[in-house]
Amino acid sequence: MLCYDNHVWLEQRPQSGIWGGLFCFPQNGSKEIQTQLDSRLITDRSIDSVQTLIAFRHTFSHYHLDITPVLVKLNKQPDLIMEGTKGLWYNLSQPEEVGLAAPVKQLIEALPFELN
């Protein structure tokens, strides 16, 4: 979860598949986040802190998704997030009306407490 100045970066999921068309945090299939940061041109100089938050399970009707959120606090907004990806800096103080997946809503609701 990339955070900068009370904003978090969300990316729109493809129309087909899980959470089709909804906005979500960038996802990574492994615990290694450096590749995600590198692909978004986020350097160590722009990172204030990296914190692994409490893992939780989101249950679908036919399977479970185990989520381990990683909060990356940035000291400057990256110039480039990812070409070809529809995304937005979501304002936690004045949230936009966009479709959010249920676990994303849950994480966003907890974020103001994490950012203090």
C-alpha distances (whole Å) from 32 to each of 28, 36, 54, 67, 110 are 8, 8, 16, 14, 23
Tokens matching residue 93: 């103080």
pTM of the model: 0.80
Evaluate if residue 113 carries a pLDDT over 60: no
Output the pLDDT for position 3.
Answer: 92
Output the pLDDT for position 24.
Answer: 87
* Tens of pLDDT, residues 43-91: 888 999 988 888 787 777 777 777 888 899 999 887 655 555 688 889 8
Output the pLDDT for position 116.
Answer: 42
Q: Is the dihedral of CA 4, 23, 69, 56 positive or negative?
A: positive
Output the pLDDT for position 30.
Answer: 67
